[in-house]
Amino acid sequence: MSVLFKIWLLSILCLFQDNGGKTTLLKQLASEDISHITSTQGFNIKSVQSQGFKLNVWDIGGQRKIRPYWRNYFKNTDMLVNLCHSADRKRFEETGQGLAELLDEEKLSDVPVLIFANKQDLLTAAPASEIAEGLNLHTIRDRMWQIQSCSALTGEGVQDGMNWVCKNVTAKKKQ
């Protein structure tokens, strides 16, 4: 007797803020050592299995000089993941503006967005509600979105966010 399993392939684009923790998150998802992380100077990609999905996660560097190249990765994106440094309040407005620009991209229309309010392990971290307000998330009306408190360093909240990704991409693909 043979059993067939349906494995869904998802392309996840992990963008924005340099020093937001994108590479740490990616290594955490892949169960890799996170003791030596360096700033991404291009891109990293990891494939991880989760809940019957093969997730191809693209971690694209957040430095301003790299941002013009982001659009090369938009095609066939199933989910946009944005990591926000929760203790860097002075960058919330910049991050919100950048997110709004991304959401205006035609190739990303209807792509759901997960915002990880990262670095919640820091004493100075803003709560997810403050970050949502700072990023103007309440103005997003054309797609599903979620903000998830997490610490990519400790792993807390990461799986909750990925559960949301799998649940909502499944719902979107069934439409």
Residues at the binding site for Mg(2+) are: 23, 40
Which of 17, 118, 119, 132 lies closest to 63 in space, CA to CA?
17
3-class DSSP assignment, residue 153: coil
Q: Which residues are annotated as a binding site?
A: 23, 40, 62, 118-121
3-class DSSP assignment, residue 9: strand
Continuous H helices in 21-117? 22-29, 92-103
Q: Do residues 83 and 89 lie in contact, with contact meaning Cβ atoms separated by under 8 Å?
A: no
Indicate which residue of 41, 49, 51, 63 is catalytic: 63
Whether 97 is catalytic: no
- Per-residue burial over 43-68, b = 16 or more CB atoms within 10 Å of its CB, e = otherwise: bbebebeeeebebbbbbbbbeeebbe
Q: Which residues are annotated as a binding site for GTP?
A: 62, 118-121
- Per-residue burial over 103-132, b = 16 or more CB atoms within 10 Å of its CB, e = otherwise: beeeebeebbbbbbbbbbeeeebbebeebb
Residues acting as catalytic residues = 63
